C-alpha cells in the first residue's frame, strides 16, 4: 500500500505528479457537474454503481407548476417551457401504458396454458349444450323480452368473434413488423442519451434547460418501455399459439348456439302473435254473427280491427325473415371484405389474390335488386304510417258520445234489448273494440319498425357492396386469364384461320366467281337492289361528312344563332 501511494506522487515526464495531473484533468468535468446541479436545483449524490436518471409524473407536474409561477420568464419563453412539460407528460403517459402492456403480456404468457385448458373445457361443454328454447307456456311479452336479450347476447358474441379474427390477422402482420420496430426504437436510444448529456447554449434560461432535459428523459423512458412491450409481443404470440384458434372456435360455437336460440324464440313469438291475432279475429266474427241488429256496426268494426291485426302479424313474419336474410348477407359481405383486406395487407396484390378478388366480386349480390326493393318499400311504409294515423284517430274518439249517438240513432229501434241492456252491450263491445284497436296499433307499429329496420339493413348492404366493389376495382385492373402465346402455337393459329376461311381447302375459292355469277343470273332484282342500297350509302356518307364539317364551322363562330345551346 505504501509503495502504491508513493508511486502515485512521483513526478511525471513534465515534472507534475501523476495524482495532480489526474486532478487537473478532471477539474473541468467537476465544474460542469457542479454547474449543472445548481441549474437543475438538485445535486444528485454519487451513486454506489451505474444508474439511469429518470423522471416521474409527479416531478413533471411539480416542475411545470414552478415554471408557471416563475416571474423571471417572458410570456413566450414560459409558454414554450409549459408546452415542453406537456410533451414530457404525454411521453410518460405512453411509457406507463407500455409498462402496463408489458405486465399484461407477462400475465398472458404465464396463464396461457391454464387458459387453453379452460377454453378446451368450455368448448367441450358448449358442444354438448342444447339450445334454450321456449317451453310453450310463455306469453307474448315474455317471448319478446327473452328474444331481445338473446339478440343482445348474440351481438356481443359476434363482436368477440370479430375481435379474435382481427387479432389473428394482427399477429400475422405483427410477426413481420415487430423486429423492425424494435430495431428502429433501439436506434433512438443512443441519440437520446447523447442529447441528454449534450450541454445547451450558455445563454439558454435555466427553466428551458430543465424542461428540455425532462422531455428527453421522458422520451427515453417511453422508448425503453416501448421496446420492452414489443419484445414481449412475440413470446406472447408463441405462448398463445394454441389458445387463439381455440378461442375462435369457442366464440364461433357460442355465436352459433345463440343464433339458433334467437331463431327459436323469434319463431315462437311470431307463432303466438299470429295465433292470438287469429283467435281475436275468430272471436270478433262470432260476436258479429250473434250480435243484435243495433250492435252489428260495432261488432263489424271489431271484426275489421281483429282481421287487420291478424293480417299484419303475418306480414311481420315475412318482414322479419327478409330482415334476417339481409343481415346475414351484410355480415357475409363484411366478413369477405375484411378477409380480402387482410390478405392484401399480408400477402400483397399477387395474381392469386387478384383472381380471388375478381371471383368474389362476381359473386357479390346485385345492388339493383336491393335498390328496387327499397323503392317499392317506401310506398308500403307510407301506407303503414297512414294506417297508424287512422288507428290513432279512432283511439281518440269519445266513447260516451258514441254510446249516446247509438242509443238515440235509428238503428236502436229494431233491437230486442231494453235501453239499459243495449247501453251495457254497446259499452262491452266498445271495450272489446279498445282491445282490438290496441292490438292492431301494436302490430302495425311492429310492422312499421320491421320495414324500417329492413330498409336500413338493405341500405347498409348496398353501401358495403359498393365499397367492396370499389376496393376491388381500384386494385384489380387486369388479370391474365390464360397462358401467354408461345411461338409453337403460331402453327396452330394458322390452321384455325384456314379452317375458318376455307373449311374445304384453298381450292374452294376458285368457285367464288362462278357462284357470284349464278346468283346474279338467278336473282338479278335482288342483286340490283343491294347494289343500289350500297351506292346510296356511299353517296350519303359523302354528304354526311360535308354536313358535319359545315356544322362544325358554324358552331365555331362566336356570334352564331342557328345552333341552340344545350
- pLDDT tens over the chain, length 566 residues: 333 333 333 344 333 333 333 333 333 333 333 333 333 333 333 333 445 688 899 999 999 999 888 888 888 988 999 999 999 999 999 999 999 999 999 999 999 999 999 999 999 998 888 888 888 888 888 988 998 999 899 999 989 998 998 898 888 888 889 999 999 999 999 999 888 888 777 788 888 889 999 999 999 999 999 999 999 999 999 999 999 999 999 999 999 899 889 888 888 888 888 888 888 777 777 766 666 677 777 788 888 888 888 888 888 888 988 988 998 899 899 989 988 988 888 788 788 888 888 888 889 998 888 999 999 899 999 999 998 998 888 887 776 676 666 666 545 545 566 667 777 777 777 888 888 888 889 889 989 989 999 999 999 999 999 999 999 988 886 655 556 666 666 666 666 666 666 666 666 667 778 778 787 888 888 888 888 888 888 888 878 888 888 777 776 665 555 554 44
- For position 434, what pLDDT does the model report? 85
Picking from 245, 241, 236, 246, the residue whose alpha carbon sits closest to that of residue 108 is 236
- CA-CA distance, 507 to 218, in Å (whole number)? 93
Q: What is the pLDDT of residue 9?
A: 38
φ, ψ of residue 11 to 5 degrees: the values are -70, 150
pLDDT of residue 411: 52
Task: Give the Cα-Cα-Cα angle 460, 462, 463 (nearest 5 degrees).
Answer: 65
> Is 102 within 8 Å of 229 (Cβ atoms)?
yes
What's the confidence (pLDDT) of residue 48?
A: 39
- Residue pair 261/132 in contact by the 8 Å Cβ criterion: yes
Which pLDDT score, from 0 to 100, does residue 427 have?
78
Pair 467, 337: CB distance under 8 Å: yes
How many residues make up the chain in this entry?
Answer: 566
CB distance 291 to 302 below 8 Å = no
162: phi then psi, degrees, rounded to nearest 5: -65, -40
* CB contact at 8 A, 239 and 108: yes
How many H-runs (helices) and E-runs (strands) does the chain carry?
A: 15, 0
Classify residue 124 as left (phi > 0), alpha (psi -120 to 50) or beta: alpha
CA distances in angstroms from 538 to 531, 532, 546, 547, 550, listed in the order given: 11, 10, 13, 15, 19
Cβ proximity of 292 and 195 under 8 Å:
no
3-state SS, residue 563: coil
Gap between the Cα atoms of 514 and 207, Å rounded:
109
Q: Of the candidates 446, 451, 455, 437, which has an alpha carbon nearest to the alpha carbon of residue 269?
A: 446
Residues in a beta bridge with 17: 11
Closest CA to 414 of 295, 281, 245: 295
CA distance 344 to 480: 18
Question: How far from 507 is each of 491, 494, 516, 519, CA to CA, in Å?
Answer: 20, 17, 16, 20
Residue spans of beta strands (DSSP E) within 226-279: none
Apex 333 CA angle, 328 and 336, nearest 5: 125
DSSP for 489-542?
Answer: GHHHHHHHHHHHH-TT-GGGGGGHHHHHHHHHHH-HHHHHHHHHHHHHHHHHHH
- Residue-level pLDDT at 254: 92
Query: Is the Cα dihedral 419, 424, 427, 428 positive or negative?
Result: negative
CA distances from 95 to 91, 184, 222, 228 (A): 6, 17, 4, 10
pLDDT for 253 equals 92
Cα–Cα distance for residue pair 225/214, rounded to 1 Å = 17
Classify residue 331 as exposed, middle or buried by CB count within 10 Å of its CB (0-12, 13-18, 19+).
Answer: middle
Q: How far is residue 94's CA from residue 223's CA, in Å, rounded to a whole number?
A: 9
Amino acid at each position: 500500500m505504501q509503495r502504491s501511494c508513493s508511486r502515485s506522487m512521483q513526478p511525471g515526464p513534465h515534472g507534475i505528479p501523476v495524482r495532480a495531473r489526474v486532478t487537473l484533468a478532471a477539474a473541468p468535468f467537476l465544474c460542469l457537474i457542479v454547474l449543472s446541479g445548481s441549474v437543475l436545483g438538485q445535486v444528485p449524490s454519487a451513486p454506489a454503481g451505474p444508474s439511469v436518471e429518470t423522471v416521474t409524473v409527479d416531478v413533471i407536474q411539480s416542475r411545470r407548476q414552478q415554471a408557471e409561477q416563475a416571474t423571471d420568464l417572458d410570456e413566450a419563453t414560459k409558454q414554450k417551457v409549459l408546452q415542453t412539460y406537456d410533451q414530457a407528460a404525454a411521453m410518460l403517459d405512453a411509457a406507463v401504458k407500455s409498462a402496463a402492456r408489458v405486465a399484461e403480456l407477462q400475465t398472458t404468457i404465464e396463464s396461457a396454458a391454464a387458459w387453453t385448458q379452460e377454453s378446451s373445457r368450455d368448448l367441450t361443454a358448449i358442444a354438448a349444450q342444447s339450445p334454450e328454447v321456449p317451453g310453450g307456456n310463455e306469453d307474448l311479452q315474455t317471448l319478446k323480452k327473452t328474444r331481445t336479450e338473446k339478440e343482445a347476447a348474440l351481438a356481443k358474441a359476434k363482436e368477440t368473434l370479430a375481435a379474435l379474427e382481427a387479432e389473428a390477422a394482427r399477429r400475422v402482420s405483427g410477426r413481420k413488423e415487430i423486429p423492425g420496430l424494435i430495431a428502429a426504437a433501439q436506434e433512438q436510444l443512443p441519440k437520446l442519451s447523447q442529447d441528454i448529456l449534450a450541454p445547451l447554449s450558455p445563454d439558454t434560461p435555466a427553466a428551458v434547460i430543465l424542461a428540455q432535459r425532462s422531455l428527453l428523459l421522458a422520451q427515453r423512458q417511453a422508448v425503453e418501455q416501448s421496446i420492452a412491450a414489443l419484445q414481449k409481443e412475440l413470446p406472447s404470440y408463441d405462448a398463445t399459439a394454441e389458445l387463439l384458434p381455440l378461442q375462435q372456435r369457442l366464440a364461433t360455437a357460442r355465436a352459433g348456439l345463440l343464433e339458433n336460440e334467437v331463431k327459436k324464440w323469434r319463431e315462437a313469438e311470431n307463432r303466438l302473435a299470429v295465433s292470438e291475432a287469429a283467435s281475436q279475429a275468430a272471436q270478433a266474427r262470432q260476436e258479429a254473427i250473434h250480435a243484435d241488429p243495433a250492435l252489428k256496426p260495432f261488432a263489424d268494426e271489431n271484426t275489421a280491427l281483429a282481421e287487420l291485426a291478424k293480417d299484419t302479424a303475418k306480414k311481420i313474419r315475412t318482414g322479419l325473415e327478409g330482415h334476417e336474410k339481409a343481415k346475414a348477407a351484410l355480415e357475409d359481405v363484411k366478413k369477405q371484405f375484411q378477409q380480402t383486406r387482410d390478405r392484401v395487407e399480408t400477402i400483397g396484390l399477387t395474381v392469386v389474390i387478384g383472381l380471388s378478388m375478381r371471383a368474389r366480386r362476381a359473386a357479390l349480390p346485385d345492388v339493383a335488386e336491393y335498390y328496387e326493393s327499397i323503392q317499392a318499400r317506401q310506398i308500403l311504409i307510407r301506407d303503414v304510417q297512414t294506417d297508424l294515423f287512422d288507428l290513432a284517430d279512432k283511439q281518440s274518439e269519445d266513447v260516451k258520445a258514441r254510446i249516446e249517438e247509438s242509443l238515440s240513432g235509428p238503428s236502436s229501434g229494431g233491437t230486442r234489448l231494453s235501453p239499459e241492456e243495449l247501453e251495457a252491450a254497446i259499452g262491452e263491445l266498445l271495450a272489446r273494440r279498445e282491445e282490438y284497436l290496441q292490438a292492431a296499433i301494436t302490430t302495425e307499429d311492429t310492422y312499421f319498425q320491421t320495414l324500417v329496420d329492413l330498409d336500413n339493413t338493405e341500405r347498409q348492404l348496398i353501401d358495403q357492396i359498393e365499397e367492396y366493389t370499389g376496393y376491388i376495382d381500384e386494385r384489380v385492373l387486369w388479370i391474365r386469364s390464360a397462358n401467354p402465346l408461345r411461338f409453337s402455337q403460331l402453327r396452330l393459329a394458322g390452321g384455325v384461320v384456314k379452317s375458318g376461311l376455307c373449311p374445304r381447302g384453298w381450292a374452294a375459292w376458285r368457285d367464288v366467281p362462278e357462284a357470284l355469277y349464278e346468283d346474279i343470273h338467278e336473282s338479278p332484282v335482288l342483286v340490283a337492289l343491294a347494289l343500289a342500297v350500297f351506292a346510296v350509302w356511299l353517296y350519303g356518307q359523302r354528304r354526311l361528312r360535308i354536313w358535319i364539317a359545315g356544322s362544325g364551322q358554324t358552331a365555331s363562330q362566336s356570334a352564331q344563332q342557328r345552333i341552340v345551346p344545350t
